[in-house]
Structure 1
Amino acid sequence: MSIAAASGGSKRRRGLGDLHDDVLERVLARLPPSAFFRLRSVCRRWRAAASSPTFLHACSLLPSRDPWFLMLSSHSPPIAFDAADRSWILPSRASAAAATDAAVPVASSGGLVLYRSPHTGALSVSNPLTGATRALPSPPGTAAPLHAVAMYGSPYRVALFAGDIHDGMSMAVFDSSTATWAPPLALSRKAAPPHAAAADDTAEVVYFLSKSGDVVSTNMQRSASKQYSSAVVTSSSGGVTAYFLSDSGTVVACDTARREYAELPRILPVYFEYSVDVVACGGAAYAVVLAEQLDTASLRVWEFVAAGDGDGEWRQVAAMPPAMSHAFYGRKADVNCAGHGDRLMVCVSSGDGEANGCFMCDVSNNRWEELPECVNSDGVEVNDFLAAFSFEPRLEITV
């Protein structure tokens, strides 16, 4: 006699409702992160599972998730791009944390994003997936100008780099495990490479494209989100180096373990107009440069390769196909970048709004693709992104 006959002639199909709670939680933990927003609306059992500590533990057992890129526009709320689904996540919890005190993202690490108030300088950390937010205590007071903000590690740390790049900088670090700031530490300046000496000649006026796409001289004017942004690289030994742009457009590298920094040589000569941003991905820091030459525009990715004794050189590691980059010729376009793993996102915004676009590059094989159009909740295309920050969407990450 068959099992079906013994049970009355029918076989009941088992569904998710028949799973034990811990099995159900492990299944739900494997759903795409974008589905987490809808878990609580399915049924009371799923709502309870989504809030369970064991469910969060099941999420933590997954080794990694594809990144999301938090994108900021001048006329639209923040929007996230899901690299796994190649889709845009319209405003929801992913942008809720930006509503406090007009705070804007300035850094990200792991599954967290760091926000800073342009008015007060107050810092807060948020998990964009859950909306959980934590205000950081006020950093040690200093009259020195702030140059860059970096976020790294787990437990996470926040580093503020301030001072005069030519006369000496300092670094103040917040440790989330102790919830305290360490007193500011002085950073020593390394000698510039011989061929970088011309970049330090303050008698010359250096012209370049600002982060807003305008040709300026001497001082770089950047958006509130990118003004203090940095690219952080962690070595195999655990050392952390933060890279950021100086006011004059040079790349500054700060070794937090050795407490020293150096201005790297310029990629392009003086009096050459270009837009530049620094980004970290694949365990390395890169400078992404959009420049015009020979009646066309080129977008290239450069890595600084040290040669010892403070010397080194920039080497090109990737370049956008000319058929793509030529569209930005004559547009006074600006580049803003974010990286995660081997992925490098490049947002290009032109001064006239006619040649905007978002592109993803796999740096390891120099493969480029243009991302699909982003349409907001009002049905309007959004493509004037001023900043991008990458994070790994994880429910279990606490602030």
Structure 2
Amino acid sequence: MGALRIRKQAMWSDLPEHVTERILECLPVDRFFRFRAVCKTWNVLFSSQHFNSIARNSQPFLILCPARTQLPSLIYSFFTRTWQNISLSFIPHDCPINFRGSASGLLLADINANVCFGFNSPTLCVCNPLTQVYSTLPKMISVSRIMAKAIVPARNKMDAYIVMVVGMSSTGTVVVEAYNSTTKAWKLAGSIPDVVIRNENVFFFKDSLIGVTSSGGIMAYNIEQGITRVMAMPTSDANNLWVRLVCCKSGVFVVGAIEDNHCLKGVIMWVLVSQKTVKEDYKWEEIGEMPSSLCEEFRRSSNSNWFECVGVGDKICFRANESMEILAYDVRRSSWNWLPKFPVGMRYMSMRCLPLEIMAGTKFI
């Protein structure tokens, strides 16, 4: 019996490294760090360059975060098509928390936020839901009133991140501040035209901070060049159209909801494409609509017309208010499908959908 046990142990230890890495790819999200704790060899393997290259190219997860962290969050794997509970209770939860963005396995959140049309000066926190650790960021140097915020991976440094904040300075100018996790300090990244950015629609795409302005345009601020550009939203024949900006692996999109008498009638999508043969180098191109049968089913899944949409990998995920289901549009395949329903009992009025990549290199806060 003892010889058999030794033989089994030897069988696992003799597995080729590429086979073990393949097993690691298939692990459920909540098993990743248990895998690391097995032995020193597996811990090193988890942080290997090969695994990080796999993680960068893999489909990210979708995480749903409630406003109260004592409630369980949910994480969805597109690989296994399953939901799992994940706890965020390690973050102080004596007040509501607003999750504002994600990057490389980290979540950006407001703590002690006094919500007032998106203008507030909360304590910013970055947390890792897998390692169950968080870090409170220091006070900013220039911004006295926050308009919008986003978290992005640091370039050429896998275990670092940058938090970008757009806000009003004490002198009345709109500035951009950047927090670098390597230096653990804020730095003034530039100033932008006096525009108001909607807090819920801010992300980083191809070296630019992109957001929707209160006047209905789209602002793109190039961090390195310090150049600001404001683009118009795509046009439609629909009279009652409200729009939402979405970013995913495939590009920048605008999702437009068509309403009639406060009833959701349709959803149109546009993608931002390059056209280098004309003076205007970008334009909006309509890529399709939500099928009417799906739109009706989507509308019935909620008690209101409000919904959120978020880019996850090559997909755009839609969740109606208080709905227990998510509808996903695959950009590359131009196809729609429903994700599995949430686990029984997981029905919250306020949950924020965010993409979540699983990358070993960003395990540090």
1:173 CA displacement:
0.9
Aligned to 2:317: 345
Unmatched runs of 5 consecutive residues or more in structure 2: 115-120, 155-159
Aligned to 1:183: 188
- Give the TM-score normalised by structure 2: 0.76
Number of residues paired by the alignment? 335
> 1:286-340: CA deviations, max 9, x gaps?
1112213699721122123466656754221232222101342896412312223
Alpha carbons 1:98, 1:104 under 8 Å: kept: no
Which amino acid in 2 is paired with 1:244?
Answer: G
Indicate which of 59, 71, 78 corresponds to 1:83.
Answer: 78
C-alpha distance in structure 2 between counterparts of 1:52 and 1:311, whole Å: 48
C-alpha distance in structure 2 between counterparts of 1:16 and 1:288, whole Å: 53
C-alpha distance in structure 2 between counterparts of 1:372 and 1:32, whole Å: 19
- Determine what percentage of the aligned residue pairs are the same residue: 16
1:370 CA displacement:
1.0
C-alpha distance in structure 2 between counterparts of 1:269 and 1:168, whole Å: 34
> 1:17-75: CA deviations, max 9, x gaps?
653399697576444133517838xxxxx844289752432486351243111113468
C-alpha distance in structure 2 between counterparts of 1:50 and 1:255, whole Å: 42
1:333 aligns with 2:305: yes
1:363 CA displacement:
0.8
Indicate which of 227, 242, 249 corresponds to 2:209.
Answer: 242
Which amino acid in 2 is paired with 1:253?
Answer: A
Unmatched runs of 5 consecutive residues or more in structure 1: 1-9, 41-45, 190-199, 201-218, 235-239
Aligned to 1:39: 34
1:141 CA displacement:
3.7
Alpha carbons 1:373, 1:381 under 8 Å: kept: no
1:15 CA displacement:
2.7
Which amino acid in 1 is paired with 2:31?
Answer: F
Task: Give the secondary-structure state (helix, strand or coil) at the position aligned to 1:339.
Answer: strand
C-alpha distance in structure 1 between counterparts of 2:22 and 2:79, whole Å: 18
C-alpha distance in structure 2 between counterparts of 1:264 and 1:187, whole Å: 14
- Give the TM-score normalised by structure 1: 0.70
Within 5 Å, which residues of 2 pair with 1:1-399?
A: 14-16=7-9, 18-20=11-13, 29-36=24-31, 39=34, 47-49=37-39, 53-58=43-48, 61-62=51-52, 63-64=54-55, 65-73=58-66, 77-92=72-87, 95-100=88-93, 102=95, 103-117=97-111, 118-119=113-114, 121-143=122-144, 145-154=145-154, 155-163=160-168, 169-188=174-193, 227-234=199-206, 240-268=207-235, 272-292=239-259, 297-305=265-273, 312-327=282-297, 328=299, 332-349=304-321, 357-375=325-343, 379-382=344-347, 384=349, 386-397=351-362, 398-399=364-365
Query: Cα RMSD between the aligned structures?
Result: 3.9
Which amino acid in 2 is paired with 1:160?
Answer: V
Task: Give the secondary-structure state (helix, strand or coil) at the position aligned to 1:388.
Answer: strand
1:159 CA displacement:
0.8
* More strand as a share of residues: 2
> 1:359-380: CA deviations, max 9, x gaps?
11111221111111102xxx32
C-alpha distance in structure 1 between counterparts of 2:141 and 2:181, whole Å: 15
Task: Give the secondary-structure state (helix, strand or coil) at the position aligned to 2:39.
Answer: helix
In our comparison, the structure showing a higher alpha carbon Rg is 1
Q: Taking structure 1 as reference, are residues 393 and 70 closer, same or farther at Cα in structure 2, changes over 3 Å only?
A: same
C-alpha distance in structure 2 between counterparts of 1:250 and 1:262, whole Å: 10
Which amino acid in 1 is paired with 2:150?
Answer: A
Alpha carbons 1:281, 1:344 under 8 Å: kept: yes
